[in-house]
Amino acid sequence: MAATIHNNVFDAALTVISGNGDEVLILSGAAADYTTATTNKLGAKASPGYDAIADGTSGRKLVLQAITNGSVTATGTATHFAITNGTDTVYVCQELSASQGVTSGNTFTLTACTIQLSDPTA
């Protein structure tokens, strides 16, 4: 039996991220909740940019635009990034393609990242 999910459902979920994802953090480890994200936080970028929600390779996608001027606030090894609302919610946490050492007082960059909600498979 084939399953389908309407694009409006995917778009609503992605709109929550783009409409409320006010901060991107670089982290020293994965974070499923905001408390862990703040514990693992090595740096932050407020007010990230997003491209318009669009068709993805399967389903729908939202692109977090590249970051060129994030602030590093602690020294350590960044292994993940998270999109948060800056107060109490982690919407997305993803492993970086390669870990990177960062030093407090410097800036960090991230390439653009696609958040993909894929169509269900039967």
Query: Which residue ranges make up each domain of the chain?
Result: 7-117
As to burial, measured by CB atoms within 10 angstroms (0-12 exposed, 13-18 middle, 19+ buried), residue 35 is: exposed
pLDDT tens digits along 23-79? 999 999 999 999 999 999 999 999 999 999 999 988 999 999 999 999 999 999 999
pLDDT band per the 50, 70, 90 thresholds, residue 1: low
Q: What is the rounded distance in angstroms from the CA atom of residue 102 to the CA atom of residue 107?
A: 8
